[in-house]
Structure 1
Amino acid sequence: MLDYSDGVQIERGQQRLAVACMARLGFSYKPPQLGLHPPASSNDSNMPRRYGITDRAEAQKWGYHVPPRGDQDAPSPAAMSMAEHEALTGSADAPRPGVTPGGGKNGVPKGGCIGEARRKLDADFTDTLAGRLNKESFNKTLQDPQVKAVERQWSACMKSKGYQAGDPYTVTDTNRPATGATPSKEEIAVALADIDCKKTTHLVDKMFAVESGIQHALIEDQQLDLNAEQKKISDALRASADVT
């Protein structure tokens, strides 16, 4: 599975290729800065919250909110001419308000300079086998009888604390008040009860064990294709590092 940091490295390589392509077409292109808004999880598996919140110290302060991660504000991109946008993307549609008509040179590659850069690195990882298996294993886990049973135990625990909740993924639907930038005392109370009941019922351990078994079976069945996909990612990382 492609990690966020690896994805940023590949995108930066694509950006450098796009800059060179734009220069070839007669444009000075400054791409947006990458890596300013890292996600809470390094990849789509979202292990820190895959089975709901689990960090009691974090919940004591933030409830169900995702703690701030020191994101940086990117400078506003410069307005593009229509010709520059078409050279970059291969599309003649205006990208946003403020775009003005302008001239450019012929020879725009298919998909624009972005399309050319992606083809050179062979690095389109928007839909990966690992990502699909990640979703499949999670969905199968939610339907597993052992997981259904432990969710009922967790629900009973929450009820004993005064909260109605069918499962950890819908607990906030009925028990979390309208939220703003910071959690309320009520939200924090629900979050702590949620985590305590997970600990009492061993919900996270049991869900992890069930999903691990499911994943092992899926990986064994798709091992060759997964190896090929990982090689493609490794090749793209090496190629992007070589772009100057």
Structure 2
Amino acid sequence: MVSTSTANISRGLAKQPVREPTPQEKSLLFTAGQLLLRDCMGKRGFEYVPIKENPVSEAREFRYVLTDLTWAQKHGYGSDIQRELTKIRKTDPNQLYFRSLPAKRRAVALTAVNGSNPLNVTAKAPDGVVLRRSAEGCQSEVYRTLYGNLEEWFQATVTDDALAELRYGRVTADPRFSKAIKPWATCMRAAGHPYASPTHLRTALRPSQRPLPRKEEIGLAVDEVRCAVNSGFAQTTRALDRHYAQKLRQEYHSAVDTRRRLQLAALERARSIVDIGAAKS
């Protein structure tokens, strides 16, 4: 007979969230997926060159406000990184290869990657929008090979990927966020930058193809970081982001745990795929 204490422990363990894969484990899964995609496309008569997960390692996103002084002093608002990413996209061997194909072959290549109709694998996003994909095609084959259950993986991924935008919306709608912007804006005005919010500042910046002069861009970015820290806005956004991340994690725990469980279960397969890929090189 199972004791009450043992049963309580079991229930407690069952409720423990599944751990998130480490960055290294996520990179392993990404690399394995790229190798599987290369091999699948090769079997269908097309070339595919595995791409890097992070082609520019210093690329970063600051959703609410710039907070990293060292990064801002080096990159400003990242116009240098955007130029590098644009260059990489223009020289992407897969895009160059795809564009070199005759029109009919391009259509066949797209079907090889994405599959054909019917789009019979569906997933509902948190906002109610239904996304669909084909069960055929190399990308679906990659997911199936790595994660086993395509339908389960697709639904969990659609839900989990949507949480970042949901979190951003909840943070920026919080009255504490609006209140914290005011001292930041006061600090920026004192530094000669009359912007009501970081969003207002981003909107006012020149397009990436015509960025501010380098010195001016870095100076503005550095002032934004200093005002974010000195006004307390950076601390407020971090606290709110953690708060809503935890709430959404609890609200959508089933999808988040499913994705993590499938990722962790795929690690051994991914290592084997990468080891075989390295042996082929």
TM-score, normalised by the number of residues in structure 1: 0.70
AA aligned to 1:88 is: A
* 2:51 aligned with 1:34: yes
Number of the residue aligned with 1:209:
239
8 Å CA contact retained: 1:9, 1:237? no
AA aligned to 1:32 is: V
Unmatched runs of 5 consecutive residues or more in structure 1 = 93-108
Number of the residue aligned with 1:152:
182
Superposition map of 1:1-244 within 5 A: 5-6=27-28, 8-19=30-41, 21-22=43-44, 27=45, 29-35=46-52, 38=55, 49-68=62-81, 73-75=91-93, 76-77=96-97, 79-80=100-101, 82=104, 85=109, 88-89=112-113, 90=115, 111-122=136-147, 127-174=157-204, 176-177=205-206, 180=209, 183-184=212-213, 185-243=215-273, 244=276
Residue 219 (structure 1) shift:
1.7
Residue 114 (structure 1) shift:
4.2
8 Å CA contact retained: 1:6, 1:237? yes
SS of the aligned residue for 2:198 comes to: coil
8 Å CA contact retained: 1:121, 1:236? yes
AA aligned to 1:213 is: H
Residue 231 (structure 1) shift:
1.0
Judged with a 3 Å threshold, the aligned counterparts in structure 2 of structure 1 residues 213 and 116 are, in CA distance, closer, same or farther, namely: closer
Judged with a 3 Å threshold, the aligned counterparts in structure 2 of structure 1 residues 181 and 7 are, in CA distance, closer, same or farther, namely: farther
TM-score, normalised by the number of residues in structure 2: 0.62
Residue 225 (structure 1) shift:
3.2
Judged with a 3 Å threshold, the aligned counterparts in structure 2 of structure 1 residues 138 and 201 are, in CA distance, closer, same or farther, namely: same
SS of the aligned residue for 1:50 comes to: coil
Residue 110 (structure 1) shift:
6.3
Deviation per CA, 1:9-39: give whole Å up to 9, x if none.
24224225404642xxxx3x33123107536
Judged with a 3 Å threshold, the aligned counterparts in structure 2 of structure 1 residues 223 and 80 are, in CA distance, closer, same or farther, namely: same
SS of the aligned residue for 1:169 comes to: helix
8 Å CA contact retained: 1:158, 1:197? yes
Quote the Cα distance in structure 1 between the aligned partners of 2:135 and 2:244. 41
CA RMSD between the two structures: 3.6
Quote the Cα distance in structure 1 between the aligned partners of 2:142 and 2:35. 8
Name the one with the larger helix percent.
Answer: 2
AA aligned to 2:48 is: P
Judged with a 3 Å threshold, the aligned counterparts in structure 2 of structure 1 residues 160 and 59 are, in CA distance, closer, same or farther, namely: same
Residue 53 (structure 1) shift:
1.9
Quote the Cα distance in structure 2 between the aligned partners of 1:234 and 1:136. 25
SS of the aligned residue for 2:195 comes to: coil
Aligned identity (percent) is: 18
Judged with a 3 Å threshold, the aligned counterparts in structure 2 of structure 1 residues 58 and 225 are, in CA distance, closer, same or farther, namely: closer
Residue 154 (structure 1) shift:
0.6
Judged with a 3 Å threshold, the aligned counterparts in structure 2 of structure 1 residues 35 and 125 are, in CA distance, closer, same or farther, namely: farther
Quote the Cα distance in structure 2 between the aligned partners of 1:225 and 1:143. 24
8 Å CA contact retained: 2:185, 2:195? yes
SS of the aligned residue for 1:242 comes to: helix
AA aligned to 2:52 is: G
Unmatched runs of 5 consecutive residues or more in structure 2 = 1-19, 118-133, 277-281
Quote the Cα distance in structure 2 between the aligned partners of 1:5 and 1:223. 23
Judged with a 3 Å threshold, the aligned counterparts in structure 2 of structure 1 residues 233 and 137 are, in CA distance, closer, same or farther, namely: same
8 Å CA contact retained: 1:13, 1:241? no
Paired positions, count: 218
Number of the residue aligned with 1:106:
none
